[in-house]
Amino acid sequence: MKKVTIFGVGNIGARVAYFLARSRDIARIRLVDIDPGRTRATVLDFLESNVALQSKIMFADYEEPKEMDQSDVVIVASGVENRVDASVPDPSATDIAKMEEIAAQIGHFAPNAMVAVLSQPAEVFCSVIAKNGYLDSRKVLGFPLLTYREWFRDHIARLVGLSNEDVRITTVRTLEGEELVPTQCSVGGVPLPELMPDLARLPAPPGPEVTAERLRYVHYAPAAIVAEVTSELVSKRRQVITAICPAGTNGAFVETKAVYGPQGFERPLELDLSPSQRERHEAYRDRAQSVTASAGSGLR
C-alpha cells in the first residue's frame, strides 16, 4: 500500500487529504504544516471522521518526520490559497527558503517520491525542490492554475447542456492566466467544436476579481483534481495531464500538456495554438525561465 505526504494543511491541503482518504490504493497520509496546532487539529478531525468515512488510512503529523519515510507521492501545498498570480511573480526569499527546507526533507526521507507542487509560482518552486532535494526533475511536477480549469469545465458543461464529469479540457498558460485550446477539448470524447460550432460562445477566462473570489472560496474542485492525479501517480499508470514539467529550455519548468509514466515526465504534447496564443504562451515561458534563473534555482 502507498504513502502520501502533504506539506501545507490549509483549505486545499486538508481537502486533498479528504479525497485521498477515500482511495483504496493509499494506506498512509502524513500531514505537515508550519503551524503544528493546525496539523494536530486536522489529523484529529480526520481520525474522528474515520468512524463514518470508513477510511483505512493512518494519519500522522509533522512531529514524526520518519513517517514520511519512503512516501510514494509528496504534495507541496504550502501557501496556496492567497498566492496565485498568473504573471509568475518573483517569489520572496522566505518562500524560497521554505521550499528549500521542504526539498531537503523530501530528499532525505523520500528521495524516490513523485513530488507534486501546488504552491505558486510552481515553475520556480519545482526547480528549487528538484535542485535542493537532489531529485530527478522528471519526478517533480507542478499543478496548473486549477481554479481556471474548473471554471472552464463548469461553463462548457452549462453551455452544451451536458455533465461536467465528461468535460476534458486543454488549456495553454499565458501571463494573464489559462486560455482554452478548443480543438483539444472534448465532452464525453466528442470534440468541443462538434458540439459548439460557434466557438465565440466559449467562456472567456475569469477576470482578476472573479479569480480572487474563487481562490477564497473554491477548494473542493481543485482538491479533487489534485487527488485524482495523485491517485494516478501512486498507481504509476501512464497518463496525459496538464502540468508544470521540465519541458522548457535547459530543463526549466514550464506548463504544458504532457505524458507522465511510472518514472514521471516522458514527453510534452504539441498544442494546437493560434498564432496569438502561441505568442502569449512564449511570453509566459520566457518569464517563467527568467524568474527561475534569477531565483538562482537552475537545475543541477
Partner 1 sequence: MIEQSVGVIGIGRLGSDVALTLAERDLCNLVLYDRVTEKAEYLASDLTDTPFGHVYNSRISWATRMEDLASCGVVIVAAGSRMEPGARLEDAFATNLPLVREIADAFVGSSALFVVASEPIDLMTEALRRELRVPPSRVLGVGGVIDSFRARHGFANALGLSPEFVTSHVVGPSASGARILWDFTSVNGMPARAIADEAVIAGVEKIFADDSVGRLQRLAESSSRYAPAMATFDLVRALVKDGRRIMSVTMEWTNTLGISDVAMSIPAVIGRYGADRVVLPHVDDAAVSSLRSSAGELSSILQSSMEKLA
- Interface ranges with partner 1 (CB under 8 A): 52, 54, 161-163, 165-166, 168-170, 183-191, 194-195, 232, 235, 237-241, 257, 259, 261, 269-270, 272
Nearer of residues 105 and 235 to partner 1, judged by Cβ: 235
Nearer of residues 75 and 233 to partner 1, judged by Cβ: 233
Minimum Å gap between C-beta 104 and partner 1 is: 32
What is the SS3 assignment for 293? helix
Minimum Å gap between C-beta 49 and partner 1 is: 14
Could you tell me which residues come within 8 angstroms of residue 131 by beta carbon, excluding any fewer than 6 positions away?
103, 297, 298, 299, 300
Minimum Å gap between C-beta 170 and partner 1 is: 5
- Bridge partners (DSSP) listed for residue 2: 26
Nearer of residues 105 and 164 to partner 1, judged by Cβ: 164
Nearer of residues 56 and 216 to partner 1, judged by Cβ: 56
Nearer of residues 32 and 185 to partner 1, judged by Cβ: 185
Minimum Å gap between C-beta 11 and partner 1 is: 26
Q: Half-sphere exposure of residue 14, counting CA atoms within 13 Å on the CB side?
A: 17
Give the Cα separation of 118 and 111 in Å (integer): 19
Could you tell me which residues come within 8 angstroms of residue 6 by beta carbon, excluding any fewer than 6 positions away?
13, 16, 17, 29, 30, 31, 32, 74, 75, 77
Give the Cα separation of 32 and 282 in Å (integer): 36
Q: Which helix (H) or strand (E) holds 225?
A: helix 220-235
Nearer of residues 88 and 146 to partner 1, judged by Cβ: 146
Minimum Å gap between C-beta 269 and partner 1 is: 6
Q: Half-sphere exposure of residue 141, counting CA atoms within 13 Å on the CB side?
A: 30
First-to-last alpha carbon distance for the chain, in angstroms, is 32
Nearer of residues 69 and 166 to partner 1, judged by Cβ: 166
* Cell numbers representing residue 291 in the block: 524568474
Minimum Å gap between C-beta 279 and partner 1 is: 21
Do 43 and 253 touch, CB atoms closer than 8 A? no
Minimum Å gap between C-beta 276 and partner 1 is: 21
